């Protein structure tokens, strides 16, 4: 398991692509640029496609030595023995998921713009907390209302790594990294890029400067 001390850098999240070969090719290009975590997230995939893609992404992550996280699907995480899971505010509670996963797996929790949710997640056994969205996203539809200062406030109070999400680009993520964000989660800025490797490297470079 990856320790919280090494959770720093680009947190790559997959898009809703049904084309598995395309997904694997873009992911491999990005991973070669340096990725802290890879999360498999495909909200519209049927169960058989989800299993196929997650299985192949896990094999790729094992080869590249990158921890593999699954969004929401606890059963899939356990079946594949993935490295961890990420849950949202409307999914199973952090405490329940931690009990199901055991102590060694990575457990991430979406906390939106709510510092109290992050406090509760830390107490319940989360490995990291994610705040956002900070900016409009091409993937997710949400109210863009997360205050930028929540990052510095969280870092002053919590002991967990802090991830920022929502419409991230290397340019708009920079002030959040300077404010103390440990990880930046990105989907479209990497996967829709003509060059996923360079796109991922641009995010990783933000942490070289801090």
Positions annotated as catalytic residues are: 41, 110, 140
Q: Pick the closest to residue 132 from 175, 189, 176, 94 (CA basis).
A: 176
71 vs 85: CA distance, rounded Å? 6
N-to-C CA span, the chain: 25
Report DSSP state, residue 90: T
β partners of residue 108: 86, 128
- Residue 1 burial by Cβ neighbours in a 10 Å radius (0-12, 13-18, 19+): exposed
Length of the chain: 210
CB neighbour list of residue 107: distance below 8 Å, 6 or more residues apart:
84, 85, 86, 87, 94, 97, 98, 101, 125, 126, 127
CB distance 206 to 177 below 8 Å: yes
Of residues 132, 141, 135, 139, the one with CA closest to residue 183:
132
């Amino acid at each position: 398991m990856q320790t919280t001390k090494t959770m720093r850098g680009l947190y790559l999240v997959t898009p809703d692509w049904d084309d598995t070969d395309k997904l694997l090719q873009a992911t491999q290009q990005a991973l070669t640029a340096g990725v802290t975590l890879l999360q498999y997230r495909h909200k519209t995939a049927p169960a058989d496609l989800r299993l196929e893609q997650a299985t192949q992404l896990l094999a790729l992550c094992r080869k590249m030595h990158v921890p593999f996280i699954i969004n929401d699907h606890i059963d899939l995480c356990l079946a594949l023995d993935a490295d961890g899971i990420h849950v949202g505010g409307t999914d199973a509670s952090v405490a329940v998921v931690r009990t199901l996963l055991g102590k060694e797996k990575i457990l991430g929790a979406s906390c939106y713009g709510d510092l109290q949710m992050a406090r509760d997640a830390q107490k319940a056994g989360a490995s990291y907390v994610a705040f956002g969205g900070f900016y409009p996203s091409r993937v997710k539809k949400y109210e863009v209302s997360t205050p930028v200062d929540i990052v510095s406030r969280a870092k002053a109070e919590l002991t967990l790594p802090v991830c920022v999400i929502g419409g991230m680009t290397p340019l708009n993520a920079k002030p959040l990294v300077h404010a103390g964000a440990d990880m930046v989660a990105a989907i479209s800025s990497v996967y829709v890029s003509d060059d996923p490797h360079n796109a991922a490297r641009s995010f990783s470079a933000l942490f070289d400067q801090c």
